[in-house]
Structure 1
C-alpha cells in the first residue's frame, strides 16, 4: 500500500513560510538568549538558559526544514513541542524562576503565543506533506 498524502518540499508555498517563521524565531530566541545569559544570568538562570536552548532548537528545526531533512525536522519540532509544553507549565507553576518573558515562558506569551502554536503547525505540515511510504 502507499500513503496517498502528497509529497511537497519546503522549496515553495507554505513550506517557505514555515521555514521563514522558524528562521526569525531562531534569530530572535538565540540573540535574546545569548544576551540574557551573558548579561543577567544570575537573575533567572533557568529561564535564560531555557531561552537560549529554545534558540538552538529553532536553529536545528529551521535547517532541517530548509534542507528537507524530514527525520531531523520531525525530531526537532517534536522536541520543541515537548519543551514548550513542559516549560510553559513550569513557568506558570514556578513563577519566581521566570521573572522575565522568555521565548518558552508562559507558553510564549511574550511572543504572541507563537512558540506554542508553531510546533503544532510544524508537525501538521510535516505530516500532511510526508513522503509516500510503501509497505510490503
Structure 2
C-alpha cells in the first residue's frame, strides 16, 4: 500500500446495492420519457398538447432526479432529489387518477404517467416510493 493510500480517509460510497439500481432505473426512465416526449412533440403535438407537455415535464423530472440522487451526498442536491421525487409521485398520482377517472383528458397512454405508468409496467408508480425510502435511509451527514 502506498503512503497516500494509508493516509487518505476512507470514503463511504452512497451508491451501492439498491442505490445503484435506483439511479439506473431513474436513468432508464429519463431516457424513455425524453425519447417519448420528443417524438410526441415533433410528430403529434397538435393532437394532444397537454399530455405531450406532461410527458416532457416527466422527462425533465426523471433527468433531474437521476442527477440529484447520484450526487445527493451534498445537502443541496439531497433537497433537490426530494423535490424531484415528490413532484414525480404527485405527477404519477394526479395524472394516473385523472387518466383513469376522466379518460378523455388523456389520449390512450399519451404520457409516461397515464394510468399510473401502465405503459411502463407501473415502474413510474413504484419508483418514487423507492426513491423516498432511499432518501429517508441515506441522509447526507450534517456539517459540523
TM over 0.5: yes
Residue 48 of structure 1 and its aligned partner are, at CA, apart by 1.1
Misfit runs of 4+, over 6 Å = none
Match of 2:8 in 1: none
Deviates more, 1:95-104 or 1:50-59: 95-104
Which of 93, 104, 117 aligns to 1:108? It is 117
Kindly provide the CA deviation profile for residues 31-53 of structure 1, in whole angstroms up to 9, marking residues without a partner as x: 10111011101222221111111
Matched ranges for 1:41-60 at <5 A: 41-60=45-64
Q: Does 1:129 align with 2:138?
A: yes
Q: CA RMSD in A?
A: 1.7
Q: Is the 8 A contact 1:8 1:129 kept in 2?
A: no
Residue 109 of structure 1 and its aligned partner are, at CA, apart by 0.6
Matched ranges for 1:44-83 at <5 A: 44-68=48-72, 69-83=77-91
Structure 1 gap segments, 5+ residues each: 1-6
Specify the SS of the correspondent of 1:42.
coil
Residue 20 of structure 1 and its aligned partner are, at CA, apart by 0.4
Report the count of equivalent residues. 127
Normalised to the residue count of structure 1, the TM-score between the two structures is 0.86
Which of 23, 26, 31 aligns to 2:30? It is 26
> Larger radius of gyration, structure 1 or 2?
2
Which of 9, 14, 34 aligns to 2:14? It is 9
Residue 133 of structure 1 and its aligned partner are, at CA, apart by 5.8
Q: Within 2, Cα distance between the matches of 1:72 and 1:9?
A: 16
Normalised to the residue count of structure 2, the TM-score between the two structures is 0.82
